[in-house]
Structure 1
């Protein structure tokens, strides 16, 4: 399976570092060339153009929510791909989302993709601390999707990256716990939780 991260800001860099820590190859792309930034993170981080990055089997969106439509237009087809939504729509009026959770609204720009919400609930600085908490547990990453198989696939990736996946169910159900709505953060956003095996 091939992976790509679109956006190498603070969240994208933290996720890329998690891939580098496990020596898993991941393509990174953004609005500007990322060769130097990718090289600083590690040898398994490969900078490419956006048009190449969207060809990956799993594409992680680590961009401002407003940029998702541009990325949606960058691929000829999203059919069968997994798109991981790591964005937050804080400050976006609910009516602008058609009353939908932000991930469901975002999914419209990726027809045929299986969209999964993950990696959005922790601040970048916390995510950048890695998968292990100071107490020795594994840091929790919440996952939500309307596609059970895609959710399980992302849970397996989260596990491979060293984190503890917690599946919340469908986007409009348990997934609402990690969705910003207007100027309100959901209950599980900013919750730095650990799982002890």
Structure 2
């Protein structure tokens, strides 16, 4: 089973670190091209390769780890998904620039955290995400925690809990195996409509909840 990662920011790079620590191979990509990933690849060693977005998207399991506002650009002109598994690691938030007037918007309860919720018109995020990857089997995972802890599945003498959800049982089973191989304790939250909402940042009731299985 091959693994591809689209996006090399905090989410993509830290998942790559977690995979590399366990000797699991993957291809990571960025819109800036493979050459721009040379420092990261040098850090991570032989298990993580730099590739084009098309190469990463051709893997058996593909993690989408880009900002919500970049989904359209990142997922355009890619090979047909044809039932392959796509992990939706995104959240419908906009990251505010420090000098943005939105940082002082008193109507935004998240301004102090430098983010702003994106209005999806009553839809849940994976419902919208699926429109960008037609034909894929989508599993929501790796989105509910601070990206800086993703490379640290072992904590406080236990395993960090990682939520996942989806509508295809076989796809969820494969994602669960990957999460277990990294060292997480996976917890199935059910369907995308149920589990996706629960773990979705910023307002999901389980969002940013850092459970540890002892």
Looking at structure 1, the residues matched to 200 and 54 of structure 2 have their Cα atoms a distance apart, in angstroms, of 28
Residue 77 of structure 1 aligns to a residue whose secondary structure is coil
Counterpart of 2:82 in structure 1 is 79
SS in 1 for 2:192: coil
TM-score of the superposition, structure 2-length normalised? 0.84
Look at both structures and tell me which one has the larger radius of gyration over its CA atoms.
2
Task: Give CA-to-partner distance per residue, 1:21-73, whole Å, 9 cap, x none.
Answer: 11111000002231221221222010011121111111101110122222332
Unaligned segments of structure 1, at least 5 residues: none
- Partner Cα separation in structure 1 for residue 49 and residue 77 of structure 2: 19
1:140 aligns with one of 130, 137, 161: 161
How many angstroms apart in 1 are the aligned matches of 2:79 and 2:31?
19
Separation in 2, partners of 1:166, 1:19 = 19
> Would you say 1:170 and 2:191 are equivalent positions?
yes
Distance 1:151 1:100 in 2: 22
Structure 2 residues not aligned, in runs of 5+: 94-116
Q: TM-score scaled by structure 1?
A: 0.91
Q: How many residues align?
A: 188
The alignment yields a C-alpha RMSD, in angstroms, of 1.3
Q: Distance in 2 between matches of 1:71 and 1:149?
A: 26
